[in-house]
A and B are shown apart, each in its own frame.
Chain A
Amino acid sequence: MRPQTAALSEAQVWAWLDDVPDPEIPVISVVDLGVVRDVSVLDTAVTVTITPTYSGCPAMSVIAMDIETALAKQGVTDVQLKTQIAPAWTTDWLSDKGRARLEDYGIAPPQPAGGPTRCPHCHSDAVEKVSQFGSTPCKAQWRCTDCLEPFDYFKCI
């Protein structure tokens, strides 16, 4: 921890939060995921507003804790976390950087058409749904009929 002397900027806090990985999909940050909705700074006091992806997502409490820990490491200890549910989270808020990283990691990014456009491994468009649900509330299971690899698809909501 280092002492916080200079005035904090909101851009600085956003940058720090962009280093906080999503606990379930560590390849993207909580900012990429669109979970961080607002940051406001008053002197050394920081308020971060977050929104749940799914109403029952168990990662939310971990995300809140990770944000507090990350800011504490930067010397920011006066942190208030607010949760809001409106407007409801949508996959439209995933950043372009996040979408690209998801695919590199083997998770097909969400598509408005409701299914992945291609296999994240071999890029074939011969894909089929295995299940509408997957290992976390935000994912579904698909597989590629060319390379035969199963993969996660980030549900589009």
Chain B
Amino acid sequence: MNHLFEFLLRQGDNALVLGHRTSEWCGVAPALEEDIALANTALDLIGQTQLWLGYAAEVEGEGRTANDLAFRRDAYDFRNMLMVEVPNEDFGRTLMRQFFFDAFQVPWLDALQTSSDQRVAEIAAKSLKEAKYHIARSAETVIALGDGTEDSNARMQAALAYLWPYTGEVFVDDDVDRAMADQGVAPLPSTLRGQWTATVTETLTNANLVQPESGFAHAGGRSGKRHTEHLGHMLATMQTLQRSYPGAVW
């Protein structure tokens, strides 16, 4: 197994799958400003995808491109965490997920800036600026909706209950993580748990939301062993053009 390639796929697939999910709001968000914000967030994530998957393709050395990796792999070849592939459901769940993701990405990318791999460090530095901008909005919106009306509070609490079991996967270190840590490419994800929890607890408290106590975590996305049933449906939409007309360009 090429550990660096696997590691890069995880970074790129997280950004790609969340970017596509977020783009599903384009044109149907609850307000024009939110529509634009969601589309811009999705655009940043797709831009980051190009950087991560572009480097992954180079490291693999099989002549594939970022586009090949994005559009011509099936669900079991994806290495994203499960949380980013579940359906948007409503605006509340979408923003709660974005916040959970951002609360991880900010310290994670910050740490990757000092990676022993120069390209990883460069991509992280570029992406971190965008992640910091994202968390300002996602945290603010979680608080506004959680501490909003009875209805918005109930929806955010429901989003929290649904997403919580998906938040733990990223902190479970595996062979790829250990190889990356040994080579100084990335820290062990488990070492970021304390910082993530502190950010999340503070924001949920300010949002008047009750943090679930369960420590149960769904797993299988990062290794590709077991994705949810939702990823295949998402890819069917996202990849339809390249599946129908392989290699199509315009």
Contact = CB atoms under 8 A, between A and B. Distances in A.
B122 interface: yes
A114 B123 CA distance: 24
A interface: dominant SS: loop
Given A132-B133, A134-B36, A57 B126 contact: no
Contact of A54 (B33, B44, B122, B136): B44
Interface stretch (A28-36, A81-89, A95-103): A81-89
A58 interface: yes
B136 to A, nearest CB: 7
Given A130-B33, A131-B33, A131-B37, A58 B43 contact: yes
Nearest to A135: B36
B36 A56 contact: no
B43 A88 contact: no
A90 B136 CA distance: 18
Given A130-B33, A132-B37, A55 B130 contact: yes
B51 interface: yes
Size range of the interface on A? 20 to 34
A132 B137 contact: yes
A56, A88, A89, A157: residue with the most chain B Cβ atoms closer than 10 Å? A56
A85 B122 contact: yes
B114 interface: no
Nearest to A156: B133
A37 to B, nearest CB: 13
A86 B119 CA distance: 9
Given A85-B122, A87-B125, A88-B125, A137 B44 contact: yes
A110 B36 CA distance: 20
B19 to A, nearest CB: 8
Interface in A30-68: 52, 54-58
Given A85-B126, A86-B125, A55 B137 contact: no
B225 interface: no
B40 interface: yes
A133 B37 CA distance: 5
A86 B137 CA distance: 26
Given A88-B125, A131-B37, A55 B133 contact: no
Given A55-B50, A155-B133, A85 B43 contact: no
B40 A55 contact: no
Contact of B133 (A86, A131, A134, A157): A157
B56 interface: no
Nearest to A136: B40
A118 B121 CA distance: 37
Nearest to A55: B47
Contact of A52 (B36, B45, B47, B125): B47
Interface in A103-157: 130-135, 137, 141, 155, 157
Interface in B38-71: 39-41, 43-48, 50-51
A52 B44 CA distance: 11
A87, A89, A133: residue with the most chain B Cβ atoms closer than 10 Å? A133
B233 interface: no
B11 interface: no
Contacts of A130: 33
Interface of A: 52, 54-58, 85-90, 130-135, 137, 141, 155, 157
5 contacts: A55-B126, A56-B43, A85-B125, A86-B122, A155-B133
